[in-house]
Structure 1
Amino acid sequence: MKRLFLSTIIVLSAFLHADAQLLKGKHNFSRADTLRGMLTPLRTCYDINYYHLDVKVDIDHKSVTGSNEFNFTATTDFKQLQFDLFSNLKIEKVVYKNEELPFKREFNAVFITFPSTIKKGVKDKFEVFYSGSPVIARNPPWDGGFIFSKDKSGAPWVSVACQGFGASSWWPTKDHQSDEVDSVLISISVPKDLQEVSNGRLRSVTDLPDNYKKYNWFVSNPINNYNITFYIGKYAHWTDLYKGENGDLTLDYWALKADSAVARPHWDADVKPMLKAFEHWFGPYPFYKDGYKLVQSPHLGMEHQSAVAYGNEFKMGYRGNDLSGSGWGLKFDFITVHESGHEWFGNNITSKDIADMWIHESFTNYSEALMTEYLYGKKASTEYVVGIRAKIQNDVPIIGNYNVNSEGSGDMYYKGANMLHTIRQLMQNDEKFRQLLRGLNKTFYHQTVTTAQIENYMIKESGLKLSKIFDQYLRTTKVPVLDYYIKNDQLNYRWTNVVNGFSMPVKVSLTPGNFSFIYPAEQWKTVNVKDITEGNFIADPNFYILVKKSK
């Protein structure tokens, strides 16, 4: 896609339709989508406190057997609840107080009925036993499922990625982002000649009688179920320590033995400067109790909390390419940086509904620019974030459809980052912007949130009227157009292609070589200019807008 340099004057007639409207798209959502995405009383009636996930992975047969113990607190009186498990996996039984409970299925939803009413405030538990062959991913991590691969020596290399697709594709769980489990014990049994890595800290390894070993990992912090994972293979392991804002943070690196000689210097050089930059901008790493792990995976990458998946082949950039086209994207390993940035936005702060996934991806995409700025300066950061605009599609709105497990546009990455960069310009105070980012991570520490909560916090802390800006960039596909002409040393200007009431200030050249704020609205306004013509008039490229000569 041709890059758009907003510091030049762009003729938009071939690019935009004057009557462009919000593109809702055509969706045919089903009952199954609603069961997955809707918070019904059968889901809100219980709050998950603790899981013990105990799974044996049979690599030869590409199957699993196991159980999950649900520990919960009743939020209201209830007798029936819903949990989730894909229908291709068999529920062997559901056990409650040593008795089997009746259950019924509807698509991937499972409904169990208790023998008596569970009262509000009561802590209780049940256990689900299951087996079967989980879905195998065709193009991970963009689609979900298991990955059965082999390393260079031909040894098994197995993992899973399931964001959006659903953790219930491989284990029974309450599969909704709004309810993060407070802690979890992850027990994964694998052939004894292989190693297994999961989230959190390793508590023990137990020998089993069938030439298997069980690895027991405990996660102390709240975690979303799509982040719970495993990696099985022949790994090399080494450790380090990062002295961070909250003290000593343990660093654990797991690379395939065949790649460890390349992996060690690559990761050792990248991770500590990255963590220092992110703690500067976002505040302390959110999971000191569980540590930071970087694990080589048989797919490109995923933000698995405290066990970040890495598959970028130890290259700089994104698979050796610079997504920004600026040159700065080759100064760092994209997957290490992006997936680690999610520890703050996505894992620490998690959207309640996947429709609000921009909260994860927009901030994390901007984290790449912020780290670049911390290491190489503001000019480098600006060039990076302006460069990624070439990848913006403006196909459908960034925010998806609620209550049906539906993501919005992939523009949540590049367009979302540029929205945040634009808001930063409006704040006119980089330190205040930094404190806003740190404040988000402190205020919503280990919480699930809505778009409204994030918008309201940013409006309050910035002191700016941002609601129409959020509407414009998150809820429509329209890019604001600064319509202008110059006559008799006067700049005539207005906003077009905007939501009703849009009045965002923007910096432009009122004198050569300098940018000054103007305050466009949907009606024409004027301001005097000096030595500015239609040939040298430009808008500050830090603002994600388009510019059109009107007459």
Structure 2
Amino acid sequence: MKKILILILILLSCLPVLAQNWDWGDPIDPLQAKFKVLHYKLELTLLPDSQSIQGSNTITFSAEEKLDTLRLNLINYYQVEKVVMNGAEVKFSHQNDMLDVIPIDCTCDQVQVFYSGKTPIALNPPWTGGFTWTKDDLDNHWMGLSSQGEGAKIFMPALDHPSSQPTQGADLILTAPKPYFIASNGRLLEVKESEGSLTYHWSTDYPINNYNLNFTLGVFHEEKLDFQSASGKTIPMHVWVLQENRAKAKELLETLKVSTQTHEKYFGAFPFPEDKIAVVETPYLGMEHQTINAYGNNFQFIPMGKVNYDWLLHHELGHEWFGNKISVKDWADMWIHEGITAYGDWLFFWEHGGAEAYFSKVKKESRGITNSLPVVSPPNSTEERAYHSDIYTKGAMVIHSLRGILGDEVFFPMLKAFSSDDRFTYQNKVVTKDFTDFVEAFSGKDLDGFFNLYLYNTDLPKLKISKKNKDTYAIALQGIDFEIPLEIETSEGIKRLEIGKKGVEIKSASAPVVDPKGWLMLQK
């Protein structure tokens, strides 16, 4: 009987560890509010045969007071072997996905955690994330990691809260068996070869979101070029694709180049010029990972004008500006990441397809708006609570509506100015009010009613058109207590009028068409 139990335990240990529905957000833990992370130094060996990892993470932190407990997050699937501070092992407790470290009596600002274990397997990456271990068509191992919904705790000990990021960047020192390559964040400083393995040292000095820390393993073909940025700097640009897809790599690189140029035109210079612009082919659809975006869209290029468009590549690249450079401190405001980035997708149609393609795209996407939940979630939301489809489509539509209200001569400089403002970028995280206050200050317009209606509520104003006599029509918007500019197509051309619940009367020999281009979300 004892032998059977041992055999069962051995067999169970060989099974893959399926990811749970981990989440993150909520109010920050009081113990974690007492310190800030400055830097992560992640040293890991990736073991594809056993789908496991082993190594350590060194966390450099600052605290205004002496800490009795240094609380980190790390899922219990991993075994913590030891924790070291100031060269000495310290006591710790690891339970309920929390790692509580009891600091020794010192003025230490670093802790090193040694751990190992089988990785959690992603159930539906990237939406339900984890590790995706598979093999390519040549029978080589291929691994991707996705963790936006789960946080960094599924692969390393960290202060796992959206308000926290290592403000001085991170070093990722990653080892794999030969001949595997590991693509990661930042710039590649060194490759060390030892018997049977390769170690890659990636480094970034920029602040970086926890879920943006990432690594992908495989046997890849690389294409690269030097990208001339709008800033005047030359930035390395790379694509890494599986060997069986090497024939598509140059086209992917060119598509990446065009998308970067398009984003730079509307959002400003690429935000991480000291690192790189890059994508790596992953065994799941994709995800924004600072300077190493995951790409799994199977090279579905769409001709648009004189260039190719890849919606997945373009969208994830847009997050380098909104999501990575500008980051929210509370998942409640996640629409700033997804909505403005989704609007950047629409701008590709404007830039390369023209006005007709742009307005057709807007019309198509707006049909998917559900208005089931407000775009902005309640304060201290978890990622799961804040994540829903309208943060993409309705969020983008809010930005599109702002363009209609402000006009291009104000809107486009405003968008670029916001993405370049030091108050909101890199280590300075934002909330929705930062954005709305900035737009009002930049434009000189009172837009409180507009933002409250479309960001914090689900009701839409109802358009009412009444014929008064042969050539007179009354037009009003019910359900709002402010006026908003609307284009009205009449027999004499398009008029632009401020309209609210009191309404206006217009003359037209034919029935007027209100908002013919679809600038606003209305009940018609």
Tell me, yes or no, whether TM beats 0.5. yes
1:280 aligns with 2:226: no
1:145 is aligned, of 120, 130, 148, to 130
1:378 aligns with 2:355: yes
Q: CA deviation at 1:56?
A: 1.2
Secondary structure at 1:172's aligned position in 2?
Answer: coil
Q: CA deviation at 1:255?
A: 1.0
Q: CA deviation at 1:74?
A: 1.6
In structure 2, what is the equivalent of residue 81 of structure 1?
A: 70
* Cα distance in 2, alignment partners of residues 227 and 183 from structure 1: 11
Aligned AA for 1:537? V
Change (3 A) 1:187 1:37: farther
Q: CA deviation at 1:156?
A: 0.7
Secondary structure at 1:51's aligned position in 2?
Answer: strand
| Alpha-carbon displacement from aligned partner over 1:302-360 (angstroms, at most 9, x marks no partner) | 1111011111111125xx9xxxxxx99x9511111111111101111011112211011
Q: CA deviation at 1:298?
A: 0.9
In structure 1, what is the equivalent of residue 454 of structure 2?
A: 473
2:197 is aligned, of 212, 228, 246, to 212
Q: CA deviation at 1:395?
A: 2.0
1:111 aligns with 2:88: no
Change (3 A) 1:344 1:161: same
Task: Please tell me whether the aligned partners of residues 327 and 425 of structure 2 are also in contact (alpha carbons under 8 angstroms).
Answer: no
In structure 2, what is the equivalent of residue 399 of structure 1?
A: 376
1:450 aligns with 2:431: yes
1:267 aligns with 2:252: yes
* Cα distance in 2, alignment partners of residues 547 and 532 from structure 1: 21
* Cα distance in 2, alignment partners of residues 468 and 102 from structure 1: 54
Aligned pairs for 1:7-46 (under 5 A) are 36-46=25-35
Secondary structure at 2:120's aligned position in 1?
Answer: coil
Q: CA deviation at 1:215?
A: 1.1
Q: How many residues align?
A: 494
In structure 2, what is the equivalent of residue 96 of structure 1?
A: 85
Structure scoring higher RCO (CA < 8 A, sep ≥ 6) equals 1
Change (3 A) 1:287 1:194: same
Change (3 A) 1:83 1:41: same
Structure 1 gaps of 5+ residues are 1-31, 321-326
Q: CA deviation at 1:384?
A: 1.5
Task: Please tell me whether the aligned partners of residues 52 and 185 of structure 1 are also in contact (alpha carbons under 8 angstroms).
Answer: yes
Aligned AA for 1:68? N
* Cα distance in 2, alignment partners of residues 41 and 537 from structure 1: 56
In structure 1, what is the equivalent of residue 495 of structure 2?
A: 516
Aligned AA for 1:417? A
Bigger mean CA offset, 332-341 vs 442-451: 442-451
* Cα distance in 2, alignment partners of residues 513 and 417 from structure 1: 32
Give percent identity, aligned residues only. 30
1:490 is aligned, of 472, 486, 489, to 472
| Alpha-carbon displacement from aligned partner over 1:240-272 (angstroms, at most 9, x marks no partner) | 0111122211111111111011222x2233122
Task: Please tell me whether the aligned partners of residues 79 and 117 of structure 1 are also in contact (alpha carbons under 8 angstroms).
Answer: no
* Cα distance in 1, alignment partners of residues 242 and 124 from structure 2: 21
| Alpha-carbon displacement from aligned partner over 1:93-116 (angstroms, at most 9, x marks no partner) | 221112222223452232223234
Q: CA deviation at 1:409?
A: 2.5
Q: CA deviation at 1:117?
A: 7.7
Q: CA deviation at 1:400?
A: 2.6
* Cα distance in 1, alignment partners of residues 258 and 147 from structure 2: 29
* Cα distance in 2, alignment partners of residues 502 and 416 from structure 1: 21
Secondary structure at 2:294's aligned position in 1?
Answer: strand
In structure 2, what is the equivalent of residue 17 of structure 1?
A: none
What is the RMSD computed on CA atoms of the aligned residues?
2.2
Secondary structure at 1:519's aligned position in 2?
Answer: strand
| Alpha-carbon displacement from aligned partner over 1:515-547 (angstroms, at most 9, x marks no partner) | 32232323x3232222132xx533233323234
Change (3 A) 1:433 1:192: same
Task: Please tell me whether the aligned partners of residues 25 and 162 of structure 2 are also in contact (alpha carbons under 8 angstroms).
Answer: no
Task: Please tell me whether the aligned partners of residues 177 and 448 of structure 1 are also in contact (alpha carbons under 8 angstroms).
Answer: no
1:357 is aligned, of 306, 331, 334, to 334
Task: Please tell me whether the aligned partners of residues 78 and 117 of structure 1 are also in contact (alpha carbons under 8 angstroms).
Answer: no
Aligned AA for 1:495? L
* Cα distance in 2, alignment partners of residues 517 and 197 from structure 1: 52
Task: Please tell me whether the aligned partners of residues 263 and 314 of structure 1 are also in contact (alpha carbons under 8 angstroms).
Answer: no
1:431 aligns with 2:413: no
1:416 aligns with 2:395: yes
Change (3 A) 1:80 1:127: same
* Cα distance in 2, alignment partners of residues 36 and 104 from structure 1: 22
Q: CA deviation at 1:231?
A: 1.0
* Cα distance in 1, alignment partners of residues 170 and 492 from structure 2: 57
In structure 1, what is the equivalent of residue 504 of structure 2?
A: 526
* Cα distance in 1, alignment partners of residues 50 and 240 from structure 2: 26
1:66 is aligned, of 42, 48, 55, to 55
1:297 is aligned, of 282, 302, 305, to 282
Task: Please tell me whether the aligned partners of residues 185 and 218 of structure 1 are also in contact (alpha carbons under 8 angstroms).
Answer: yes
1:504 aligns with 2:484: yes
In structure 2, what is the equivalent of residue 253 of structure 1?
A: 239
* Cα distance in 2, alignment partners of residues 407 and 155 from structure 1: 37
Structure 2 gaps of 5+ residues are 1-21
| Alpha-carbon displacement from aligned partner over 1:399-447 (angstroms, at most 9, x marks no partner) | 234324232421111111111100111002x132111111111112313
| Alpha-carbon displacement from aligned partner over 1:39-90 (angstroms, at most 9, x marks no partner) | 2332222221111001111111111111100011224453323211112222
In structure 2, what is the equivalent of residue 369 of structure 1?
A: 346
Aligned AA for 2:38? N
Task: Please tell me whether the aligned partners of residues 399 and 408 of structure 1 are also in contact (alpha carbons under 8 angstroms).
Answer: no
Change (3 A) 1:422 1:104: same
Task: Please tell me whether the aligned partners of residues 204 and 215 of structure 1 are also in contact (alpha carbons under 8 angstroms).
Answer: yes
Task: Please tell me whether the aligned partners of residues 386 and 418 of structure 1 are also in contact (alpha carbons under 8 angstroms).
Answer: no
* Cα distance in 1, alignment partners of residues 91 and 366 from structure 2: 54
1:226 is aligned, of 200, 207, 211, to 211
* Cα distance in 2, alignment partners of residues 451 and 275 from structure 1: 26
Task: Please tell me whether the aligned partners of residues 82 and 112 of structure 1 are also in contact (alpha carbons under 8 angstroms).
Answer: yes
Task: Please tell me whether the aligned partners of residues 460 and 523 of structure 2 are also in contact (alpha carbons under 8 angstroms).
Answer: no
Secondary structure at 2:496's aligned position in 1?
Answer: strand
Change (3 A) 1:131 1:200: same
Q: TM-score, normalised by structure 1?
A: 0.85
Aligned AA for 2:91? P
1:52 aligns with 2:31: no
Change (3 A) 1:258 1:468: same
